Chains A and B, each alone.
Chain A
């Protein structure tokens, strides 16, 4: 039982490059989330997926897109990376919604030069 997994763990991009962050969970959870973590700003929600086939914007969606590929997988795409997107990205999942514990992945440290 791996829980929530993310790839890659580290990534360096140049401004304007694109990339996709992958996330998968094996707990049969309905909801999945993408957060970014910046110093002094806590965890800010980028996008979430309440259930398979649905996605919605969170607090800071600009510059990102997501795909809920199936119940297990939820990917985050940066189409044209900017230095402001340098951050640590966490994927999370929960059984239902915010009324239940969220389980986080190990994080992806992204640097955009």
Chain B
């Protein structure tokens, strides 16, 4: 089955700096890569996703890049703000039959004011 590795497990940045979270996946048939944000004590919520026919996608201060050859994808947050502090999960969904999602182990981002 699919295996998703996520790094780093914790990340501290100064407010206004950029943050990058990286994930690798094992199944070359994976074609959908969502990112979820989980604030403390809350439920995970989708913040951005990318499909395998696209190399990059942006939504205001967040962007995701995908390198299918290397089987890795990354989340970029620019001009970080204290409200960006949360745990971020990457995930991958493999094509073929019923597509389940495999999540990474999460990155705890702390934005220091």
Contact = CB atoms under 8 A, between A and B. Distances in A.
On whether the two chains bind one another, the answer is yes
A97 B103 contact: no
Nearest to A106: B43
B1 to A, nearest CB: 8
Contacts of A104: 43-45
Nearest to A102: B101
Given A43-B89, A43-B103, A98-B93, A107 B43 contact: yes
B108 to A, nearest CB: 10
Nearest to B90: A42
For the residues of A in contact with B, the DSSP-based class is: loop
A44 to B, nearest CB: 8
A90 interface: yes
Interface string B70-100: 0000000000000000000100011000111
Contact of B98 (A44, A50, A105, A107): A50
B43 A48 contact: no
Given A41-B105, A43-B89, A99-B32, A48 B46 contact: no
A105 B106 CA distance: 18
A44 B91 CA distance: 11
A33 to B, nearest CB: 8
B99 A98 contact: yes
Given A40-B9, A42-B103, A98-B32, 13 more contacts: A42-B89, A45-B100, A45-B101, A45-B102, A50-B98, A56-B98, A58-B100, A97-B99, A98-B100, A102-B101, A104-B44, A105-B43, A106-B43
Interface of A: 35, 40-45, 48, 50, 56, 58-59, 90, 97-99, 101-102, 104-107
